[in-house]
Structure 1
Amino acid sequence: MKVDLIVRNARIDTRDAAHPKASSLAILHGRIVAIDADVDGLQARETLDLGGLPVLAGFNDVHAHSVWFGTTLIEADLSAVASHDDIYAAIERQAQQTAPGEWVVAAGYNPVLLGSTHPDPDRLDTASGGRPVWIKHASGHSGQASNRALELAGVDLRAVPEVEGGVIRIDETGRPTGVLEERAMELVQRILLPYPLASLERALQLATEQYAREGLTSVTDAGVAGGWIGHAPAELAAYQSARDKGLLSTRMQVMPVMDALGPIDGHDDEPSRRGFGAGMRTGWGDEWLQLGPVKVFTDGSILGRTAQMREEYEGCPGYHGYLQDDPDAMRARIMDAAAAGWSLALHAVGDAALDFALDAIEAAVQQHGRPRVPNRVEHGMVVRPEQLDRLAALEIACVVQPSFIPSFGEGIRAPVGAARGRISIRARSQLDAGMPLAFSSDRPVAAGAPLLGIQSFVQRLTEEGQVYGEHERISVDEAVHAATVGSAEVTGQQHAKGRLAPGQLADLVVLGAHPRDVDAGEISAIPVRATIAGGAFTHREADLG
């Protein structure tokens, strides 16, 4: 039999308990068909001698924002600014490439790195030459508008309106600062959206090309087609078109936001349901493009102090954050989606929001059963011990982002305090409770390279070099397992990916060194020599093989 590719002379970490190590494997029609001795005697269209390099299953990021990330590669980048003057200079440069009257859009600004301060809306108007300015904060839960942008959005600068589920921030004089939180961002987004489909396809191409360079073969886009995080109602169409045109370099599981689902008519004896008109639900699609759970935003972020906490925020007497919508209305939509067969992915950052999420998912499971693709809580930043027990008992995955720690760990610890910091971004505790642990980045909110995520799981060092929850550290082997096997389990795809064994998808990454063979602080610097998805190279260094 002639196969498509044989990999020889490698150190293969299979993650398969029956055959944990191998030196060769064979690939045919996008799947692994043989390991070690079973490769002998096979002929191949291509043979790759790796000279002893390590091979792992392809990395899997179970919570990123691919369209959003791709657009940041097109817009002005504020991720590296060190002062407000840097922001004004970047806006001025972008404005010079923007037609008069058009919007100047920037992304990646993290106010925490500048002492939670914000640029002056008047200075933004000056820097842009009067063009409206919209700055997307890295958290995704707030943004900054210039005065001209606020005026176009209908905000009276002398009588700032209230927004349900969001806030227009004002200064001590009652004048808007330009900061729009949560649903208040929709005031600007309804002007800028929807993006053209061609722009979305280009964003997906750029995003997935970067994923491949980092060893990613699978990614879950955690929220498309609506809400403040969406870029167009037809984002799923953009995904299909990008796939048809060969623009996707990674397999994609796509979560539509609850806003994208509508009521579905059914028989009088059936419960009310919510979904797409034709009844498609979680799991529809194939190995390259699949519908994931429905995404529901229950609260906001700790960085923006909009996550709902049971206890007040540090330094904010009486303030607990807030839910993004009426809890009864959210619960009704969640139950209707579960009735239509959707798995649930509830964004719940604060522990009070997590109480709501757990109650809602438990009620959905009691009424409609557990779905094949696991129900999930996104982020679960602060998780009390009894909540961890409920997560495990209900078989709900808690999707944490290890790279939050080196990106802005101290920015999280300050508003929650030391005690709640000890029960946040849990990893060791999840494994000890018998829960699957996955890797996710929330990119572009934080850096997304999976090797950095593995390093962060192991070290848990903040941006200031301080340890964030030493008791939640895990081993290198456990972190690699999270980025491969654990991620496959959390996305309901363990039958096809996460391990390198016959019958599994031929998704693998060739590294310059195995993460366990270098100092923990050097894991993120390991070169990604090649990435293979479905037996085809999506990234390959010129001198490999």
Structure 2
Amino acid sequence: MTDLTFRRVELPVGIRDVVVRDGRVVEITDDAPSHGSVVIDGRGGALIPGLHDHHLHLHATAAAAESIRCGPPEVTDLAGLTAALTGAPGDGWIRGVGYTETVGGLIDRSALDRCTPDRPVRIQHRSGALWILNTRAADLVDLEQADHPGIERDERGRPTGRLWRADDWLRDHLPDAGPPSLSALGESLSAFGITGITDASPDLSRESRDALIAAHRTGQLPQRLHLLGVGIGDDLPDAGPAVTVGPYKIVIADSGLPDLADLTERIRQAHTHRRPVAVHCVSRVALALLLAAFRDAGVIDGDRIEHGAIIGAGTVTELAELGVRVVTQPGFLADRGDDYLARVDAADLPDLYRCRSLLDHHVPTALSSDAPYGPLDPWAVIRAAIERRAPTGEIVGEAERIRADEALDCHLAPLDDPGGEARQIRPGADADLVLFDRPLAEVLDDPRSDMVRCTVIRGERKFDRG
């Protein structure tokens, strides 16, 4: 591993040199010797710890990059959907992503047949909770004879083509292409300055888990990797110190809410194995159910709510009292805020993706992308937390705006401590670093990914804009 010396970089203490050796920061000085190391002249640009994305779905994000866009802004009506699908290259399966009801309602396989009858098509709703198959696709996976609670059927018992939270079942019945490559995604994350990621996919299969670890080992995915989808009590194969097990992921699906006693027992089981829980919780009803389960099961350090899309004002105080963390995604406001303004009850709009009130009540809060369902770029997420502007330009929940430095800090907490204290550059710290082409004040004044000049992960350069 080559030693690195960053010359003339901006730190909170002023312009300094930073020396990196064996994957760690070893010295911060006014005049570091350059012998035996690669010297990077910072030219006064800020050097900060690398950003962490505390909630995304790696394989789904990689697959989405190779899929047909089926929702706004690219597709806004059924004619556009037909054009997008019929224009798909090749002659086999078509995989679409990003569909939403504003395009053409909650379509079924008959509606999808009218768009593309001749090729098997599967389209994912932009929420990630629903797949829609046309008849050709339904026949190929033998949907008629399938037995899965998420397969929707009409009054005659015939599949509608809609599959709710049946990702694993569908994956097992599709042509075996294996998990997608993560190489391009790893490069994109590095270019954004992301040095650590939490994969929030629930119930990872052994194949998916091993593929994620292999991508990290081979360097396709150089970021530190924190996994929520590892089963309770399961151990990882020897993956090295940069791959860790996080809280146990539980999904409260609004399409089929769990029994309170069952949810409470799942939380207790995880706690018995000394695993916190990370609970997918989007609606007001789901949050009320989860809080009741926490009151019964108790809370341990590390328990967290994923999304918290709607949190009532009175609930914020209860979250603070319980000590539950929130990992949220204000990037959705910039991505689909116009849809929220049109379809969400006006009384709920102030409660969407809260940030300011959570921080003010000392609820540990982290920001993340939820890619591929939200924007992957952390700087877009930071801007959204600052501005809270919908694509129309209208502001959604102005009182929940936070400052740029606060939004950045929400990306700087350790992977195992989302919402905790922002990491600092100090001797002995891991050398996960981002160098900008300008001082930090200018970065925060107009956050953009093109200001990232160099990204270092575990002491090695993974991105260099030159």
- TM-score, normalisation: structure 1: 0.76
Is the CA contact 1:169–1:180 (under 8 Å) kept in the aligned structure 2?
A: no
Question: Which of 321, 326, 351 is the aligned partner of 2:259?
Answer: 326
Deviations 1:512-544 (A, max 9, x none): 345642685x42364322211111111111xx2
Structure 2 distance, partners of 1:122, 1:514, is 56
| 1:89 matched residue in structure 2 | 83
Question: Which of 203, 206, 210 is the aligned partner of 1:237?
Answer: 210
Q: Counterpart of 2:233 in structure 1: which amino acid?
A: G
Question: Which of 170, 188, 194 is the aligned partner of 1:216?
Answer: 194
| 1:348 matched residue in structure 2 | 281
Question: Which of 261, 266, 269 is the aligned partner of 1:336?
Answer: 269
Is the CA contact 2:24–2:427 (under 8 Å) kept in the aligned structure 1?
A: yes
Q: Counterpart of 1:105 in structure 2: which amino acid?
A: R
2:466 is aligned with 1:538: no
Q: Counterpart of 2:378 in structure 1: which amino acid?
A: P
Structure 2 distance, partners of 1:502, 1:440, is 28
Is the CA contact 2:388–2:395 (under 8 Å) kept in the aligned structure 1?
A: yes
Report the CA distance shift for 1:363/1:326 in structure 2 as closer, same or farther (over 3 A): closer
2:251 is aligned with 1:252: no
Report the CA distance shift for 1:518/1:9 in structure 2 as closer, same or farther (over 3 A): closer
Question: Which of 283, 286, 293 is the aligned partner of 2:247?
Answer: 293
Shift of 1:112: 5.0
Q: Counterpart of 1:326 in structure 2: which amino acid?
A: D
| 2:163 matched residue in structure 1 | 180
Question: Which of 233, 240, 244 is the aligned partner of 1:275?
Answer: 233
| 2:293 matched residue in structure 1 | 360
Is the CA contact 2:9–2:43 (under 8 Å) kept in the aligned structure 1?
A: yes
Structure 2 distance, partners of 1:36, 1:84, is 61
Is the CA contact 1:91–1:124 (under 8 Å) kept in the aligned structure 2?
A: no
Deviations 1:434-476 (A, max 9, x none): 1222120100001111111111110000121111111110111
Shift of 1:240: 2.2
Is the CA contact 1:284–1:290 (under 8 Å) kept in the aligned structure 2?
A: no
Most deviating of 398-407 and 526-535: 526-535
Structure 2 distance, partners of 1:222, 1:146, is 29
Question: Which of 38, 46, 56 is the aligned partner of 1:46?
Answer: 38
| 2:152 matched residue in structure 1 | 168
Structure 2 distance, partners of 1:470, 1:488, is 30
Deviations 1:279-313 (A, max 9, x none): x38x996542111111100124xxxxx4xxxxxxx
| 1:270 matched residue in structure 2 | none
| 1:449 matched residue in structure 2 | 377
For residue 164 of structure 2, give the secondary structure of its aligned residue in structure 1. strand
| 1:318 matched residue in structure 2 | none
Report the CA distance shift for 1:340/1:434 in structure 2 as closer, same or farther (over 3 A): same
Shift of 1:503: 1.4
Shift of 1:412: 3.0
Question: Which of 64, 72, 82 is the aligned partner of 2:56?
Answer: 64
Query: How many residues matched?
Result: 464
RMSD of Structure 2 on Structure 1 (CA): 3.3
Structure 2 distance, partners of 1:126, 1:365, is 51
2:173 is aligned with 1:191: yes
Is the CA contact 2:19–2:32 (under 8 Å) kept in the aligned structure 1?
A: no
Report the CA distance shift for 1:236/1:519 in structure 2 as closer, same or farther (over 3 A): closer
Structure 1 distance, partners of 2:111, 2:265, is 44
Report the CA distance shift for 1:435/1:380 in structure 2 as closer, same or farther (over 3 A): same
Shift of 1:224: 4.6
What 5-or-longer segments of structure 1 have no aligned partner? 14-18, 227-231, 262-273, 301-305, 307-321
Shift of 1:194: 6.5
Q: Percent identity?
A: 26
2:111 is aligned with 1:111: no
What 5-or-longer segments of structure 2 have no aligned partner? none
Q: Counterpart of 2:194 in structure 1: which amino acid?
A: L
For residue 225 of structure 2, give the secondary structure of its aligned residue in structure 1. strand
Report the CA distance shift for 1:186/1:247 in structure 2 as closer, same or farther (over 3 A): closer
For residue 168 of structure 1, give the secondary structure of its aligned residue in structure 2. strand
Structure 1 distance, partners of 2:336, 2:251, is 21
| 1:504 matched residue in structure 2 | 429
Report the CA distance shift for 1:430/1:519 in structure 2 as closer, same or farther (over 3 A): closer
Structure 2 distance, partners of 1:284, 1:255, is 17
Deviations 1:176-202 (A, max 9, x none): 76443334x666444128752xx34x1
For residue 441 of structure 1, give the secondary structure of its aligned residue in structure 2. coil
Is the CA contact 2:437–2:452 (under 8 Å) kept in the aligned structure 1?
A: yes
Shift of 1:41: 4.2
Is the CA contact 2:198–2:415 (under 8 Å) kept in the aligned structure 1?
A: no
Structure 1 distance, partners of 2:438, 2:105, is 41
For residue 502 of structure 1, give the secondary structure of its aligned residue in structure 2. coil
